[in-house]
Amino acid sequence: MKQPLALTWEDQIRLFEKRGLIVKADDVEKIKHISYYRIKEFAKPLEIKQQDGEEQDILYDNIEFAEVLARYYQDKNLRIYLLHAIEKIEVSIKTKISFVLGDRYGAFGYLNFSSWANRNKFTKYDIEKRQFYIKKNLLNTVRKSQLTELQKSINLDPDGFPTVWLAIDLLMFGDIVSILTIMSEKNIKQICQYYSCTPEELVSWLKCLNFIRNVCAHNSNVLDIQITTKPKLRSEWRKYIDTVIMKQNVTKPSNKLSVIIAIVVYLVNTINSKYQWRKIQSSLKTLCKEDDSRAKLLGFKDYDSVKAMINGIKYTAFTNSKK
Contact assessment for residue 257 and residue 287, using Cβ atoms and an 8 Å cutoff: no
Position 55 scores a pLDDT of 58
Phi, psi of 277 (to 5 degrees): -105, 10
The Cα 163–Cα 167 span in angstroms is 6
Position 305 scores a pLDDT of 95
The Cα 202–Cα 263 span in angstroms is 10
Beta strands at 251-253 and 243-245: parallel, antiparallel or unpaired: antiparallel
Position 10 scores a pLDDT of 94
The Cα 103–Cα 289 span in angstroms is 50
The Cα 313–Cα 318 span in angstroms is 14
Q: State which amino acid sits at residue 226.
A: Q
The Cα 305–Cα 297 span in angstroms is 13
For residue 300, what is the DSSP state?
A: B
Q: Which residues pair with 47 in a beta bridge?
A: 60
The Cα 267–Cα 172 span in angstroms is 19
> Which mean pLDDT values do the consecutive 10-residue runs of the chain (323 residues) have?
87 93 93 93 88 68 93 96 97 98 98 98 97 97 95 96 98 97 98 97 97 93 92 94 84 94 96 94 94 96 94 65 40
Position 315 scores a pLDDT of 61
Contact assessment for residue 172 and residue 140, using Cβ atoms and an 8 Å cutoff: no
From the CB of residue 238, how many other CB atoms can be counted at a distance below 10 Å? 14
Position 278 scores a pLDDT of 94
The Cα 191–Cα 181 span in angstroms is 12
Contact assessment for residue 299 and residue 242, using Cβ atoms and an 8 Å cutoff: yes
pTM of the model: 0.92
Rounded-to-10 torsion of CA 255, 257, 262, 265: 160
The Cα 32–Cα 132 span in angstroms is 48
- The residue count for the chain: 323
Q: Is 101 exposed, middle or buried (0-12, 13-18, 19+ CB in 10 A)?
A: buried
From the CB of residue 251, how many other CB atoms can be counted at a distance below 10 Å? 8
Which among 252, 260, 238, 250 is positioned nearest to 89, based on CA atoms?
Answer: 260
Q: What is the largest CA-CA distance in the chain?
A: 73
Position 48 scores a pLDDT of 86
